[in-house]
Amino acid sequence: MTKFSIFKSYLTAVLINVIGTLLFLTVIRAVTGENAFIYTYLGSGWFIALFGYEIYKYHAYLKEQWQNFKKKKWTNILISLVSVLILIIVVTFSRKYFNQFIPANGPKELIIPINGFFGIFTNLYAAIINLMVAIFEEIAFRHDMWYRYRKHKFVFGILFIITNLLFGFSHYYNFNGSFVATIPYAFAGMILSLLYLWRRNIWLPIFTHFIFNFPAIIGVISIIIISLTR
């Protein structure tokens, strides 16, 4: 792979996964205003499309890596669980500092109200999409935009920093429109990248990220159970 082809393929990935995502979310926020329901369903369409694109592009690689993951299944699961704890600690403590950069008057993260069947259903749907996004993000940011360039040592090192910063930046709207406040997620991306580099299996960061995002769906299910038992 030549330097030009590396630049071209990386730029394409950035345009699709980072710039494309932020532009799309910006447009639908402008269209939907503060309607969290419409925003959720429109936004999910973009992430479903990206998920399908990455799965289609790397399905053979994912299948091969999954077979290798299963050979040391319990070891890999244990490592993922420990990695989740590390992610939680790093993100929690770093956010204590970086949250000061969240603007009070910035574009707020749209919260879906949990009232009535449609509110609960939409929250459950959003939580499921969030799990799917965890898989997509690991394929896109950890493999497509980083690990596959590992034979080019200098580029590989530079992209470790750039890609994980972009991973954080892609969560711009989770932090009221502050790129600086997304740095804790960049730290999380670095941990997931190092996990991938260490174990040489994409399913380790996928599984870790999946577990990290899983509490959201547990919360919604708990609300459903409480509502049904009243």
Please tell me the predicted confidence (pLDDT) of residue 112. 87
Q: For residue 80, give the amino acid letter.
A: S
Give the span between the Cα atoms of 166 and 180, in whole angstroms.
11
What is the pLDDT tens value at each position of the chain, 230 positions in all? 677 788 899 999 999 999 999 999 999 999 998 899 999 999 999 999 999 999 999 999 999 999 999 999 999 999 999 999 999 999 999 999 999 999 988 888 888 888 888 888 999 999 999 999 999 999 999 999 999 999 999 999 999 999 999 999 999 999 999 999 999 999 999 999 999 999 999 999 999 999 999 998 888 888 777 766 66
Half-sphere exposure of 154 (CA within 13 A, CB side): 2
Question: What pLDDT is recorded for position 34?
Answer: 85
pLDDT score for 108: 86
Q: What local confidence, expressed as pLDDT, does residue 81 receive?
A: 97
Distances (CA, A) of 40 to 19, 111, 152: 19, 9, 39
SS (H, E, C) the chain: CCHHHHHHHHHHHHHHHHHHHHHHHHHHHHHHCCCHHHHHHHHHHHHHHHHHHHHHHHHHHHHHHHHHHHHCHHHHHHHHHHHHHHHHHHHHHHHHHHHHHCCCCCCCCCCCCCCHHHHHHHHHHHHHHHHHHHHHHHHHHHHHCCHHHCCCHHHHHHHHHHHHHHHHHCCHHHHCCCCHHHHHHHHHHHHHHHHHHHHCCCHHHHHHHHHHHCHHHHHHHHHHHHHHHC
Contact residues for 31 (Cβ-Cβ < 8 A; gap 6+): 42
Ranges of each domain in the chain: 3-229
Give the pLDDT of residue 115.
80
Query: Do residues 190 and 160 lie in contact, with contact meaning Cβ atoms separated by under 8 Å?
Result: yes
Distances (CA, A) of 95 to 105, 199, 205: 19, 27, 21
Radius of gyration for the alpha carbons in the chain, expressed in angstroms and rounded: 18
- How far, in Å, are 122, 130, 205 from residue 196 at the CA level? 33, 21, 6
User: What pLDDT was estimated at residue 230?
Assistant: 64
Q: In angstroms, rounded to a whole number, what is the distance separating the alpha carbons of residues 151 and 82?
A: 29
Q: Are 149 and 227 in contact (CB under 8 A)?
A: no
